[in-house]
Structure 1
Amino acid sequence: MKQFKLLSLFSGAGGMDLGFKNAGFNIIWANDFEKDAVQTYKNNIGEHIVLGDITKIDSSEIPGEPGDIDVVIGGFPCQGFSIANTKRNMEDSRNFLYLELLRVIKDKKPKFFVAENVKGLLSMQKGKVLNMILKDFKDLGYTVDYRVLNAADFGVPQARERIIIIGNRMGIRNPFPIPTHSDTLKDNKLKPYKTVKESIGFLSDVELLNGKTSKYILVNNRKIYNHIASTKVQDTFFGRKYTVDQAEICDYLKSWRDKSEWTTKKIDKHFGYRHTAGHWFRKDNKSGSIPKPSDWWELKKILKFDDKYDKIVTTFVEKPILYEQSLRITNWDRPSDTITATSPEIHVNKERRLSARECAILQTFPDNFIFEGSLNSLYRQIGNAVPVLLAEKIATEISILL
């Protein structure tokens, strides 16, 4: 079986790359400027990715002779586009990043290229920006087409619409994948959309790994990594019914700890936390905290404290929900809304946002694809990625023609 050669720009954590790799492509070089994303890519896909600014990487530093590359892929950023300068050229001083993709295509002359971008590119300056981009690719001698593809139509449990631009210099019609799924109310000939519930429902009652020393948790014989999430929703959704003074609770817990044989370090180890218990015994508004109900009841077992604060610490009530963009609850019985690079939607249990792993599953990353970095970095890497399954289906169509 032939190994098709591929170059990847703006690779991020590697969603599109993994899809093409799954379809039999050999990625000989990739690039991104974000450190965490590059480390994630290296750990999961390969060492061929280069950390650096593509505008400072000469084409001669990128492997592959002109005409020797089968495909160049890249999800280029679209900020800062303008068509005001009618004398645009390859050395445009404004340094549009899509021009870097254009440059590599011009210099390496791949048989195909695939570019991905947000649907908003369609309306940018009333469509003139997209037309400008398409013309620039065509001027290199490529037959160019684009479509808006919804990832949900291809078995991804997420309604994610993106522009996919495909070009080839073989003088043939550009291939696009054929939808396999749909809303069954509209078309019962296709498979029904994959829902959020069937994709991540098994993690609903699984405790987060936030602050835990273990790297993964075993669920239904699946090793689940990166099951960490933002829990900053309690004030809006499930919050304590009673006012609780953290300093007061801290003094109370410290007194019972001191009467026991338990040290803070030993308590952390018992719970499997790195440093969380220390915050329960730290009386300060910035870093002190109150145990969540499940931790409170476990503390009660080991420290054997009385019932004085049980009710006010563990009684939670549902508070009014303000339906704003940042406070939406995720879908459950249909594909999710678009996974973004910032705070994801709130889980249906209303106690937390979707975890990084749940977002990754909705982006069709496999369980053994482990992301590196802080929680915000994980959310960003996952949200910026092309769904792996969608990329694989695009790649498969192209491979048939190579």
Structure 2
Amino acid sequence: MTKKNLIALFSGAGGMDLGFKNAGFNILWACDFNKDAVNTYSKNIGNHIELVDITQVDSKDIPGDPYEVDVIIGGFPCQGFSIANTNRSMEDERNFLYLEMLRIIEDKKPKFFVAENVKGLISMQGGQVIKMIIDDFSRIGYSVDFRILNAANYGVPQARERVIIMGNRIGVKNTFPEPTHTALPKDYNLFSDTYDLQPHITVAETIGHLADVEIQNGKINEYIEVNKQKIFNHIASTTVHDKFFGRKFDVNQEEICDYLKEWRKISGWSTKRIDEHFGYKHTAGHWFRKDNKSGSIPKPSDWWELKKLLGFDDKYDEQVTTFIEKEIKFEQSLRITNWDRPSDTITATSPEIHVNRQRRLSGRECAMLQTFPNDFIFTGSLNSIYRQIGNAVPVLLAEQIAIKIIEQIESKEKVAIQI
């Protein structure tokens, strides 16, 4: 059978696209309007993606003639849906992005389409929004079904429920992948007569080997090596640090900066040389700032190493390096990740706190929980990387959806050949 052709809309960093590519699809064209996401996509998947406003794209300018595209995929934004306007014209800005996807599918007439969205789409406006979507796609010739799929049930180490809308115009059944994993105990073989499923993949199984690996914040090197593998994007937010393990004693930041500055002068070490020793880009300068109010205090591991270099006395050792666990108030933003089960949903904002309670999950750890491969490198700021990963469809889930679609297309083609 020939390779199937795909068009991807609202691709983001490319989680869904990569899953379909891994299943054997040839991606003709993809688009997104976020610059960092497009750069990430181009770096890892291919240059067939365009940084473009979908409303400015003519279907005729997208590769693939009508009826020749096998599948169109995309996760259209769900904000602003309204059923009050029964005409739902292209000028209605409240739902124009959904209509753009509908427009391109109507023009290209792919055999299948797949749309991914948040679970809440089904209950929006009392179920009328999902009914509107089904009606609209039915009107242009598609048989449409939807399912809520939990990524954890498909080998993804993350409890992520999303609605998958699937439609086809070739007269076959819309087939969704069957679960391969479930919340069985580790001794699940005892139930082998009843269950033919594997236990959910846990967070510890997925990212446990990075738990004691220092994050790369501020480091010159782009990656670290762990078990002879290059690990990129192992950078993380530490802004909540003092809410979990905080210094036991009050520390006067200005006093510490002045103290370190004097010892650096005595030692003869330059700030640049210290940065080079630690492998940092511009971090050491903050320890010796003239404007010490904007300076920073080294973390304990850096403090002890700095002491070896500068030879300072024991005056502040206990104050700087003694940490204790502080009370954790439960808030969404202060949630600690699971360890012995799949993670909660990886979001596009601040990720959960690592079980070591010293930082949030790193970009790489979030990517691994979304089943991106280790050599998939994200570009942009840390917040942008978190956003790209959190907005993505888990690669492994997308791949299993793609495999089912290929099976349906090829079964139809076999029947056509026999006839």
TM-score range, shorter chain: over 0.9
Counterpart of 1:246 (choices 230, 253, 263) is 253
Structure 1 match to 2:52: 52
Structure 2 match to 1:171: 171
Structure 2 match to 1:156: 156
Unaligned runs of 5+ in 2: 186-190, 410-419
Q: Displacement, 1:400?
A: 1.2
Counterpart of 1:357 (choices 359, 364, 370) is 364
Structure 2 match to 1:39: 39
Q: Displacement, 1:93?
A: 5.5
- The CA distance in 2 between the partners of 1:201 and 1:2, in whole Å, is 41
- Matched-pair contact (CA < 8 Å) for 1:183–1:192: yes
Q: Displacement, 1:88?
A: 2.3
2:361 pairs with 1:366: no
Structure 1 match to 2:73: 73
- The CA distance in 2 between the partners of 1:356 and 1:2, in whole Å, is 37
Structure 2 match to 1:324: 331
- The CA distance in 1 between the partners of 2:11 and 2:197, in whole Å, is 32
- The CA distance in 2 between the partners of 1:160 and 1:94, in whole Å, is 26
- The CA distance in 2 between the partners of 1:152 and 1:172, in whole Å, is 27
- The CA distance in 1 between the partners of 2:98 and 2:40, in whole Å, is 24
Q: Deviations over 1:134-163 (max 9, x none)?
A: 111111100100000000000000000000
**Could you tell me which amino acid in structure 2 is paired with residue 136 of structure 1?**
D
- Matched-pair contact (CA < 8 Å) for 1:231–1:352: yes
- The CA distance in 1 between the partners of 2:126 and 2:159, in whole Å, is 24
**Could you tell me which amino acid in structure 2 is paired with residue 195 of structure 1?**
T
Q: Deviations over 1:322-358 (max 9, x none)?
A: 0110000000000000000000000000000000000
Q: Displacement, 1:87?
A: 1.8
Structure 2 match to 1:6: 6
Structure 1 match to 2:312: 305
- The CA distance in 2 between the partners of 1:94 and 1:385, in whole Å, is 23
In structure 2, relative to structure 1, the CA distance for the partners of 1:369 and 1:93 (3 Å cut) is closer
- Matched-pair contact (CA < 8 Å) for 1:81–1:96: no
- The CA distance in 2 between the partners of 1:37 and 1:245, in whole Å, is 41
Structure 2 counterparts to residues 105-116 of structure 1, below 5 A: 105-116=105-116
Report the TM-score, using the length of structure 2 for normalisation: 0.94
Structure 1 match to 2:236: 229
Q: Displacement, 1:285?
A: 6.4
Q: How many residues align?
A: 402
In structure 2, relative to structure 1, the CA distance for the partners of 1:256 and 1:390 (3 Å cut) is same
In structure 2, relative to structure 1, the CA distance for the partners of 1:393 and 1:18 (3 Å cut) is same
Structure 2 counterparts to residues 109-258 of structure 1, below 5 A: 109-184=109-184, 188-258=195-265
Cα RMSD between the aligned structures? Answer: 1.3
- The CA distance in 1 between the partners of 2:258 and 2:228, in whole Å, is 42
Counterpart of 2:402 (choices 378, 395, 401) is 395
- The CA distance in 2 between the partners of 1:19 and 1:368, in whole Å, is 15
Q: Deviations over 1:242-288 (max 9, x none)?
A: 11111111111011100112100000000000000011111546641
Report the TM-score, using the length of structure 1 for normalisation: 0.98
- Matched-pair contact (CA < 8 Å) for 2:81–2:95: no
In structure 2, relative to structure 1, the CA distance for the partners of 1:172 and 1:285 (3 Å cut) is farther
Q: Displacement, 1:52?
A: 1.1
**Could you tell me which amino acid in structure 1 is paired with residue 222 of structure 2?**
K
- The CA distance in 1 between the partners of 2:182 and 2:328, in whole Å, is 31
- Matched-pair contact (CA < 8 Å) for 1:147–1:163: yes
- The CA distance in 1 between the partners of 2:23 and 2:262, in whole Å, is 61
- The CA distance in 1 between the partners of 2:67 and 2:95, in whole Å, is 25
- Matched-pair contact (CA < 8 Å) for 2:253–2:293: no
Structure 2 match to 1:87: 87
In structure 2, relative to structure 1, the CA distance for the partners of 1:236 and 1:285 (3 Å cut) is farther
Q: Displacement, 1:213?
A: 0.2
- Matched-pair contact (CA < 8 Å) for 1:182–1:193: yes
1:46 aligned counterpart, secondary structure: coil
Q: Displacement, 1:221?
A: 1.3
**Could you tell me which amino acid in structure 1 is paired with residue 396 of structure 2?**
L
Q: Deviations over 1:57-106 (max 9, x none)?
A: 11111111100100000011000111001122456454521111101100
Structure 2 match to 1:260: 267
| Percent identical residues | 72
Q: Displacement, 1:3?
A: 1.4
- The CA distance in 1 between the partners of 2:184 and 2:79, in whole Å, is 37
2:338 aligned counterpart, secondary structure: coil
**Could you tell me which amino acid in structure 1 is paired with residue 312 of structure 2?**
F
Moved over 6 A (4+): none
